[in-house]
Amino acid sequence: MPSIDELELYRMPIADGDFGSNPFPHFAEARKRHDWLAASDIGYVLTSYRAIDEIMRLDEKLTMPGEEIVDIMGARGTGWGDFAIEQMLVSSGERHSRLRGSMSSAFGPGSVKRLRPTMRETVSQICDEWLTSGNFDFTDFAAQFPVRVMFALVGTSTEKLPEIIEKLEIHGESFNLEVEKMGIIEDGYQTLWRFVDELIAERGSDAGPNTDNRDLLDTMIAANSGGQISDKELRQLLILLFAAGYDTTKNLLILLMNSLLQYPDIYRRCGEDFAYARKVVKEQLRFTTPSNTMRIVTEGFTYRDVEIPEGTMLVFPLTISGRDPELFANPMTFDPDRSEKHPTQAFGRGMHICVGQFLAVANVEEGIHIIAQRMKNPQLAGEVTWKPFPGVWGITSLPITFDPVEAPERAVEPA
């Protein structure tokens, strides 16, 4: 039985700058050599939906790199370094369940449903502010939306929004291993720490006995005062939530707009029919999504006759695994009416599966439905530029023109 390092695999230049702008030909090449594996400079890449599905669930044999990244960055003892080693995504077992349990109830489908009016109001307000001309970079517009909903979720004003957006952008790139940026990464982390520290202080320590009315911040503060999570864990978790929800949701909305620029009829129908808009978001979750991830093997195992020893780095390209031709007919075609039912891998698999997935999907559903009503006939007006592929992937610039539509009269719906 061969070990993974004895296989003759296609080598993907996954970390190269231009790989992110079109990874698909490389995956097609890789599949000609091996049906589920490719090599790369940062680890072995799983090229098949099924292999990702089955391997990513082996939580007890895998871990997310934490200490390794902090050592490369020379960041031991810094706030960001502690975060990278201690955050929930790197934790396992009892600690992971304890941290996740401190907040998960605030992200269930019921809690998210109650937030939909806030999402609609937020996206309408951003349209009011931004649709003053008939052109902009859609990435700037989209950067406003999920983080404002998060601000609403923790019940704070948008005064600090520009500074927090800037620091979240820096934090989003902090896992790209650019050692020379460590100074600004730590500075950004400290700003985020002070921001969440003030949120907690403003709210006070008594979340009250009525668990039904608790928002996210109340829920987490109650877990802190009840001894479930420490003061430091509470702050680290809040930073994780802002960071994990910001870049990803923003990028999903941008990727969706990029897809729909080629399908104007589908875009138009998103504005007319909310149920259809939901189908379109579902298809986008197959087509291209924002978050790739990695694992180090902590206990060797065999998968489909290949030995994968301890210490192997595995890359899970969740962003495009929905284009696997083994499972999806005409995978390169965006088709909201397609019949395959394989669930999206955008939010991962196993114990770290995304806590915020219902919130993210609801944000993008509500967002595109209103955007398609307020921005008619969007057209690409310049070059589309892309982020590097590993980590949070997506579009860095999407210049468009459009016909703005005046805001309809709207009543503020009760939250």
Footprint of ligand HEM on this chain (CB under 6 A)?
A: 64, 88-89, 100, 240-241, 244-245, 248-249, 252, 289-291, 293, 318, 346-348, 352, 354-356, 359-360
**Residue 401 in tokens:** 């023109």
* Nearer CB in complex with ligand HEM: 47/249: 249
In the complex, the smallest distance separating the C-beta of residue 190 from ligand HEM, rounded to whole angstroms, is: 21
Q: What is the largest CA-CA distance in the chain?
A: 68
Residue 127 or 240: the one with the smaller Cβ distance to ligand HEM is: 240
- Which residue has the CB atom at the shortest distance from ligand HEM? 356
* Shortest distance, position 318 Cβ to ligand HEM, whole Å: 5
Q: Which helix (H) or strand (E) holds 307?
A: strand 306-308
CB 393 to ligand HEM: min, Å: 10
Least distance to ligand HEM, CB of residue 5, Å: 23
Distance in angstroms (rounded) separating the CA atoms of residues 73 and 52: 28
Under 8 Å between Cβ of 199 and 156: yes
Taking the least distance from each CB to ligand HEM, the nearer of 214 and 402 is 214
The nearest distance, CB 241 to ligand HEM, in angstroms, is 4
* Smaller CB separation from ligand HEM, 174 or 291: 291
Shortest distance, position 165 Cβ to ligand HEM, whole Å? 15
Strand, coil or helix: 265 = helix
Q: Which run of H or E residues covers position 397? A: strand 395-397
Secondary structure element (H or E) that encloses residue 302, with its range: strand 301-303
Q: Residues of 290-311 as b/e, b for ≥16 C-beta within 10 angstroms?
A: bbbbbbbbeeebeeeebebeee
Complex with ligand HEM: residue 23 or 356, whichever CB lies closer? 356
Separation between Cα atoms, residue 113 and residue 107, nearest integer Å: 10
Is 185 or 294 the residue whose CB approaches ligand HEM more closely?
Answer: 294
Do residues 405 and 374 lie in contact, with contact meaning Cβ atoms separated by under 8 Å?
Answer: yes
